[in-house]
């Protein structure tokens, strides 16, 4: 009887194993063969998984050795690898026009520097003016002589209430300023020069990255990032007396330093952030008007965030074509895809590979894609994650106005302008020289990606005029 049971179990096991291998082979054939275009955009949850049965010994043996692991995934990553290789080969061949400085950037820089000067005495009545700046296609107007005054208010106005910010997974404080307006405070976790190792989305938010990203959005003419300033806050005198009980309970003293760990998804007493004595540096981000309701979308080029899986966009050369079958991402019917390509260029320059979702205004038509949550940026000045540019080099379209602005910032004008714009910050220097240099290097890669598209489909097909923003 025992022998019969054993034989039955063996047969059952072999049958199951055969079906598993057959289904795995069928799946990989499906990946390789081009799937038919559908009427809706493919979701970024489509993944190509490392088969744990067929490759289990290799996977376990090389879990920490990415080079060997990538060698067997390489055939399935042709869409990413081939494009990146072509961009790298194009960079040293770029025409000298991409290397020369255009002095027309000086007018743009001069206008921004003038806007960033404090021109009048701060008053709480200005918050109402700031709220009126916001529209479907901008958070900040193209020119405003009040910008510097408003930023100064944001960095100095009295805090009347502090609580835990519920949004997100990391420690943030939601502060109410005198006058009733709110702002999110992201504390400093790292020094300016600390290198963040690991994948592009590694580490905690960098407060200085939020400040730098805001200024870059102004410089690029992508005025879709909320007002952001660097601010130093005395936790003991400015926050603790007005803190909600749930937040106050997370404060404690460590030697001479005041620390807290807050309340959030990943917050814990084992992972506190500490001030220098009582003073904590951070980024303060102005809360958008409550009349504008945000709606979140999953980004079509979202990463899998898994060691053993790659996203559909990494393997499918026709991925963007399939995305644009959706009315939402059809450039003839919507500005959404052009907004996402603007965001991809912006994110690549700051090395932000963590835009897994994006947000728009839900209650207005033709809303822009907002440039929110830029903290996972400027982590490693010597690394360039070219796959952040995938929406650009796969779709091969870009706004004419965006392209013209990028061209004006060639030849070192980008880093020079950013350094000048950031000098007025209360937490200057905001970026190290290495991070400023990285901006110019990455801009060349953007030029190379667009040149590659010019060669593939022609300049007229790549550059788009977008009258509605």
Instruction: Answer yes or no: do 372 and 336 share one domain.
Output: yes
Question: Residue 188: its pLDDT value, please?
Answer: 98
Instruction: Answer yes or no: do 276 and 377 share one domain.
Output: no
Per-residue pLDDT band for 12 (boundaries 50, 70, 90) equals low
- Is residue 431 domain-resident? yes
Last residue of a domain, one of 263, 286, 309: 286
Question: Residue 324: its pLDDT value, please?
Answer: 97
| 386: its two tokens | 């070219």
| Mean pLDDT computed over every residue of the chain | 86
Distance CA 443, CA 101 (A): 13
- Is residue 41 domain-resident? no
Among the listed residues 115, 342, 354, 387, the single catalytic one is 354
Last residue of a domain, one of 266, 286, 306: 286
Does 354 qualify as catalytic in the annotation? yes
Question: pTM value?
Answer: 0.85
pLDDT in tens, 162-219: 999 976 788 999 999 999 999 999 999 999 999 999 999 999 999 999 999 999 999 9
Residues in the chain: 469
159: containing domain: 123-286
- Is residue 118 domain-resident? no
The total number of structural domains that make up the chain: 2
Q: Specify whether the CB–CB gap between 352 and 388 falls below 8 A.
A: yes
Instruction: Answer yes or no: do 300 and 436 share one domain.
Output: yes
Distance CA 452, CA 438 (A): 21
- Is residue 9 domain-resident? no
Query: Residue 329 pLDDT > 80, yes or no?
Result: yes
Instruction: Answer yes or no: do 277 and 302 share one domain.
Output: no
Per-residue pLDDT band for 71 (boundaries 50, 70, 90) equals very low
Instruction: Answer yes or no: do 86 and 148 share one domain.
Output: no
Instruction: Answer yes or no: do 90 and 174 share one domain.
Output: no
- Is residue 57 domain-resident? no
Q: Specify whether the CB–CB gap between 418 and 431 falls below 8 A.
A: yes
Question: Residue 123: its pLDDT value, please?
Answer: 84
Question: Residue 469: its pLDDT value, please?
Answer: 67
pLDDT in tens, 14-60: 455 444 444 433 333 333 333 333 334 555 444 444 333 323 232 33
Instruction: Answer yes or no: do 251 and 309 share one domain.
Output: no
Q: Which of 64-73, 119-128, 357-366, 430-439 has the lowest mean pLDDT?
A: 64-73
Distance CA 211, CA 151 (A): 11
Instruction: Answer yes or no: do 304 and 437 share one domain.
Output: yes
């Amino acid at each position: 009887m025992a022998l019969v049971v054993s034989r039955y179990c063996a047969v059952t096991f072999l049958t199951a194993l055969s079906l598993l291998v057959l289904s795995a082979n069928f799946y990989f054939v499906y990946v390789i063969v081009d799937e038919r275009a559908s009427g809706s955009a493919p979701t970024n949850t489509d993944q190509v998984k490392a088969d744990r049965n067929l490759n289990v010994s290799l996977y376990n043996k090389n879990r920490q050795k990415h080079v060997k692991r990538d060698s067997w995934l390489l055939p399935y990553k042709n869409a990413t690898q081939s494009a990146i290789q072509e961009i790298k080969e194009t960079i040293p061949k770029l025409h000298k026009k991409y290397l020369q400085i255009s002095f027309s950037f000086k007018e743009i820089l001069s206008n921004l520097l003038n806007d960033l000067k404090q021109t009048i005495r701060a008053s709480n009545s200005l918050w109402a003016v700031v709220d009126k700046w916001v529209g479907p296609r901008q958070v900040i107007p193209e020119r405003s002589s009040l910008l510097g005054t408003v930023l100064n208010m944001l960095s100095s106005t009295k805090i009347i209430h502090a609580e835990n910010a519920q949004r997100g997974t990391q420690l943030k404080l939601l502060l109410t300023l005198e006058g009733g307006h709110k702002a999110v405070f992201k504390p400093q976790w790292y020094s300016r020069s600390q290198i963040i190792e690991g994948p592009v989305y590694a580490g905690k938010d960098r407060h200085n990255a939020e400040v730098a990203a805001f200024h870059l959005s102004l410089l690029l003419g992508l005025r879709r990032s909320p007002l952001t300033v660097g601010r130093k806050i005395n936790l003991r005198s400015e926050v603790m007396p007005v803190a909600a009980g749930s937040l106050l309970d997370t404060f404690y003293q460590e030697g001479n330093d005041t620390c807290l760990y807050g309340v959030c998804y990943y917050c814990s007493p084992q992972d506190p952030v500490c001030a220098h004595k009582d003073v904590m540096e951070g980024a303060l981000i102005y809360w958008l008007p409550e009349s504008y309701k945000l709606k979140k979308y999953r980004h079509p080029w979202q990463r899998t965030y898994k060691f053993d899986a790659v996203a559909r966009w990494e393997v499918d050369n026709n991925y963007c074509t399939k995305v644009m079958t959706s009315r939402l991402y059809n450039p003839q019917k919507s500005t959404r895809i052009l907004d996402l390509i603007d965001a991809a260029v912006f994110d690549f320059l700051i090395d932000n590979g963590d835009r897994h979702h994006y947000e728009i205004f839900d209650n207005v038509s033709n809303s822009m894609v907002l440039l929110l949550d830029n903290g996972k940026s400027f982590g490693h000045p010597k690394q360039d994650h070219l796959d952040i540019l995938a929406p650009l080099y796969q779709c091969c379209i870009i706004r004419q106005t965006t392209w013209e602005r990028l061209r004006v910032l060639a030849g070192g004008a980008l880093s020079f302008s950013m350094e000048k714009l950031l000098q007025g910050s209360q937490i200057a220097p905001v970026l190290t020289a290495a991070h400023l240099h990285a901006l110019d290097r990455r801009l060349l890669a953007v030029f190379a990606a667009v040149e590659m598209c010019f060669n593939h489909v022609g300049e007229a097909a790549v550059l788009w005029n977008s009258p509605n923003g």
